[in-house]
Amino acid sequence: MRINFFRGDVKAKLIYRRRQDAFCFLLLSCCVLFYASRAGCAEINGPETKIANNEIYVTTGLILNEKQLQDLKNGIAKEITFYIDLFRVWNMWPDEFVLGKTIVKTLKADPVKKEYIAASSDGMTVVERRFNELNSLLKWSLNIRDLKLTNTKELEPADYFVRITVESRLRKLPPVISYLFFFVPEKEFTKVKDSSSFRVGPGK
């Protein structure tokens, strides 16, 4: 009779391997659910455009969902970048990028001092403000009103539209989440929305 002394070791290794695979699958599933709860969330307000005194003005904003608002209250800092880009409309060719502006908003909470801190940067200047209420923070930091984009005299007569792209990154995750999801990028979501087209110069 032949005795297999290694049968028990092989079986134990198979069980251990299956447990490893199950743990990895569970961890990946939790990761997907963790970030899916944030991705299908924020909405872009507008964008709305107007022309006054030959200047193009843009008004837009961002609305966060309840989960993201709770993240802020729990001390998870966010860096939200607004890309405000002007495109020229072409019928037979892809729309042409003309110019753009970038505004970076940083939002964070201090649970100890019970205050909210926001900073806004346009690449030239940085403005920081502190708030006692979350709604005041959101109103100041996530709304862009009448941003002067460019002068129409610098543009050729054509149809144009404004594209708003918003990217959100998590600046600081809680220690437990950072440890479990160390392989996940910090980008939280990206949203894109176009304005209605408008005419610059004489009509066709």
Ramachandran angles phi, psi of 70, nearest 5°:
-65, -35
> Chain-centre distance of CA 154, in angstroms?
31
Mean pLDDT of 174-184: 47
Q: Is the pLDDT confidence value at 179 over 50?
A: no
DSSP 8-state code for residue 133: S
In 3-state terms, what secondary structure has residue 159? strand
Residue with the two structure tokens 């001390």: 75
- Cα–Cα distances in Å, from 202 out to 62, 94, 153, 155? 34, 22, 12, 12
Give exposure, 55-64, as e/b (b: 16+ Cβ within 10 Å): ebebbbbbeb
- The answer to whether the CB of 141 falls within 8 A of the CB of 178 is no
Query: Over pLDDT 70: what percentage of the chain?
Result: 71
Q: What does the pLDDT look like over 82-107, one tens digit per residue?
A: 999 999 999 889 999 999 999 999 99
In 3-state terms, what secondary structure has residue 135? helix
Provide the pLDDT confidence category of residue 20 given band limits of 50, 70 and 90.
low
| Average pLDDT of the chain to the nearest whole number | 80
Q: Is 75 left (phi over 0), alpha (psi -120 to 50) or beta?
A: left
Domains of the chain in sequence order = 40-200 (2.60.40)
Provide the pLDDT confidence category of residue 201 given band limits of 50, 70 and 90.
confident
Mean pLDDT of 61-80: 87
Provide the pLDDT confidence category of residue 12 given band limits of 50, 70 and 90.
low
Q: What does the pLDDT look like over 123-178, one tens digit per residue?
A: 899 999 999 988 999 999 999 999 999 999 999 999 999 999 999 988 655 454 44
